[in-house]
Amino acid sequence: MISTQETVAQDSARDGRRRLLWIVYLLSFAILVWFFVEGFDYYMTPYTERPHHPDYRGLRPAGSRGLAYGIAGSVMMVMMLVYSLRKRTRLLGRSLPLRPLLDFHIYLGIIGPLFIVLHTSLKVQGLVAVSFWSMVAVAASGFFGRYLYLQIPRNIAGKELTLQEMEQTSADTAGNLKARFKLDDITLGQVDALFEKRLIPRGNATFAAILSLMIDDLIRPVVKSKLRRQLLKIVWLPRDQFRDLFETSFTRALLRRRIHLLGQVQRLFHYWHVIHKPFAIIMYFIMAIHIGIAIWTGYGWIS
């Protein structure tokens, strides 16, 4: 069973990690944009005319900077495997929590490919194109996989909660709401009905349900604003208490949503692995061939 205190600790840790991630992402994107803008004239030059461009020796894939981009991107792509090693083996022990590692895994899966794009100088061809588009497929499916992962409730150590633990957490939260805000059963039922009607999709179609969740999460500020106005018609409390009631009820409704869709999400998560893994294997296999040939032939300044 997961306690209210543990839930608060999870939320606090998640918020702190999210703020740090935003900072890291913004800095990384700023650096990448700077690199792109600096080489913009070269990247926009027709491929046949690039050898005559003054930045050719630096920005071509075998150039000083172009190769550095490739190495940076490749190192990031290899470092992504740390998450898989931690998740599937005992090589890294159990001291590293999975959730921060997953965030790092996704960060590398986004920034690494962008460095690879700079390495190719925006020109992908030949066998490398297969690896490149596999990499794009891995990154794109990774976004979807991350979303599915977040729909499966876990404890602070990253272990998936059982259905019984989730139900108990929901019941504990309901009791907490009644005690803190002096709600009777009828009022609590009205609050639950309001949130569940908006946040829990109806029907059994898996893809339609997941699509509905994704749309709701994309427009979450709009959804929350509408729910606040509707909640005011049911419960009136001082501003601070009302905000606490709303956020707690919203969090509980999200948990109820995850309980309701648990089987569908787990099934879709399994299918996602079937798609995600082959692209990753192809990407790493061709990347290894590409790097091996580059080292063997003395590509760029590797020699």
164 burial class (0-12, 13-18, 19+ CB within 10 angstroms)? exposed
Give the pLDDT score at 35. Answer: 95
CB 156 within 8 A of CB 13: yes
Q: Which two tokens stand for residue 196?
A: 């569940």
Is the pLDDT assigned to residue 2 strictly greater than 50?
no
> CA 115, CA 132: separation in Å to the nearest integer?
12
Give the pLDDT score at 161. Answer: 66
To the nearest 10 degrees (0 to 180), the angle between helices 185-199 and 239-260 is 60
pLDDT single digits (tens) 80-123:
888 888 877 777 666 677 777 888 888 888 898 889 889 988 88
> CA 51, CA 20: separation in Å to the nearest integer?
42
To the nearest 10 degrees (0 to 180), the angle between helices 163-181 and 4-38 is 100
Residues 6+ apart with CB under 8 A from 98: 83, 86, 87, 157, 158
> CA 158, CA 53: separation in Å to the nearest integer?
51
CB 187 within 8 A of CB 234: yes
The rounded mean pLDDT for the chain is: 80
Q: What is the dihedral of CA 67, 70, 74, 77, to 10 degrees?
A: 160
CB 107 within 8 A of CB 24: yes
For the question of whether the overall pTM of this predicted structure is more than 0.85, the answer is no
The torsion angles phi and psi of 154, rounded to 5 degrees, stand at -135, 160
Residues 6+ apart with CB under 8 A from 79: 108
Is the pLDDT assigned to residue 15 strictly greater than 70?
no
Helix H or strand E encompassing 268: helix 262-296
> CA 65, CA 44: separation in Å to the nearest integer?
17
> Distances from the Cα of 179 to the Cαs of 173, 183, 303, in angstroms?
10, 7, 71
pLDDT single digits (tens) 31-72:
999 999 999 999 999 988 999 999 998 999 888 899 999 999
The residue assigned the tokens 């969090």 is 251
Give the pLDDT score at 156. Answer: 52
Percentage of the chain lying above the pLDDT 90 cut: 15
Give the pLDDT score at 220. Answer: 83
pLDDT single digits (tens) 175-188:
888 888 888 888 88
